[in-house]
Structure 1
Amino acid sequence: MWFRQTTGEYRSGVGDSNRSEFRALAHTGAPIGLLAFDTDTDADATDAEAVGWVALAPRGDYSRLERAQVARPIDPDEDLTGVWSVTCFFVHRKARGGGVAAQLLDAAVRWAADRGARTVEGYPVDTDGERRTSSDLYHGTLRMFVDAGFELVDRRGTRRALVRRTVP
């Protein structure tokens, strides 16, 4: 709920309240993101374990992006209709290093395109080849986004970037 709320709203709802609000949002059918499952070929698909998550929605659904320096558009008058945002990833520690986040990003682009997105954007971390902790990488890495066909639109400080990919 972090990207969907103001700081005050988020803090007042930390824990059960925000979880309940997120669950209710999911039940409305609103776009909130995608899950990755570990589908062991010997297991029943209904027993598959979730190993990853990507948050994805139309940019306008994320009120925090309006105030975030890393997400500000290059042109303040730009029409952001049809722009979807990838705001964060989570990959279970047992599944890290196996390409789960990259697969989630590819699926997110296809899923957004199927729902009318014209552009998908992200706000990744530029690791510049350095190892980083998972808590530093929840926005994804610049390398992963570039490898997925995103273009670097602008550097945001020394470690962050605005990237976009036009979808058919």
Structure 2
Amino acid sequence: MTEITTRLATTAEWDDVQAALSGGGDGRSCQCAWPMLSNKDWNATSVEQRQQMLRDELAAGPPPGLVAYVDGQAAGWIRIGPRTAQQRTLRARLVKSGSEAPLDDEGVWAVTCFSVRKEHRGLGLNAAMLAAAVDYARGSGARVIEGYPIATDTTKPSTNSLFVGAVSTFLNAGFREVSRPTPTRVVVALDL
């Protein structure tokens, strides 16, 4: 029987965060910096710089995400935190046009990234990570959690584009659909 556990990502989990991000897809090159940087800043940074930014973020705290483990091995990563701290997220037309909450509302947290190693896909890690992320946000005083998943009910996305999650994962976790600003993207929310 497979055991799935999660831990908040701190500097103690650095090697596990790197293992989770480097198992397939764009995680290794992104270092989960995409939600944090403007296009200009993204284009001006190297993989090594993004990696250092993530390390610094873990060191500064609070934890910007969680690591999932399958039978004790690092298998996945999820980014969650205050939406106001995620620059690109705040600037995204999807969020501006689709969210119910004011952009400066510090009580709104956002789930903006999932990464699962290839060998652990299909085990329900995204659902397990999302459940743990909801608990973390609730315990940290979040009032609402938003997500911006792919509308998998209307499109067949590539594996890499699923870094934002599938709409079904969020709906199965109790989130409600807020809007569909584009044919392929959904804004979902969970009131805590």
Q: With the length of structure 1 as denominator, give the TM-score of the two structures.
A: 0.88
The change in CA–CA distance for 1:14 and 1:132 in structure 2 (over 3 A counts) is same
How much does 1:76 deviate? 7.3
Rounded Cα–Cα distance in structure 2 between residues aligned with 1:86 and 1:104? 10
- Give the structure 2 partner of residue 158 of structure 1: 183
Q: Distance in 2 between matches of 1:79 and 1:25?
A: 21
Q: In structure 2, do the counterparts of structure 1 residues 67 and 79 end up closer, same or farther at CA, with 3 Å as the change threshold?
A: closer
Q: 1:52 is matched with which residue?
A: 76
* 1:85 partnered with 2:110: yes
C-alpha distance after superposition, 1:41-88 (max 9, x if no partner): xxxxxxx32100101110011011222011125457566221000001
Cα distance, 1:130 vs. partner?
5.4
> 1:78 & 1:134 partners in 2: Cα distance?
29
Q: Secondary structure at the match of 1:80?
A: coil
The residue number in structure 1 matching 2:151 is 126
Alignment partner, residue 66 of structure 1 = 90
SS in structure 2 of the partner of residue 137 of structure 1: helix
The answer for the alignment partner of 2:53 in structure 1 is 21
Q: Structure 2 vs 1, CA of residues 129 and 61 (structure 1 numbering), >3 Å: closer, same or farther?
A: same
- Structure with max Cα Rg: 1
In 1, the alpha carbon distance for the partners of 2:190 and 2:163 equals 19
- Aligned-residue offset at 1:158: 0.7
Q: Contact (CA 8 Å) 2:180, 2:186: kept in 1 or not? A: yes
Tell me whether 1:144 sits opposite 2:176 in the alignment. Answer: no
Tell me what 1:112 maps to: 137
1-side partners of 2:103 and 2:56: how far apart?
32
* 1:117 match: secondary structure: coil
Extract unaligned runs of 5+ from structure 1. 40-47
| Higher share of residues assigned helix | 2
Task: Give the secondary-structure state (helix, strand or coil) at the position aligned to 2:40.
Answer: helix
- 1:38 is matched with which residue: 65, 70, 75? 70
Secondary structure of the corresponding residue to residue 163 of structure 2: coil
**TM-score normalized with structure 2 length:** 0.77
Matched residue count: 159
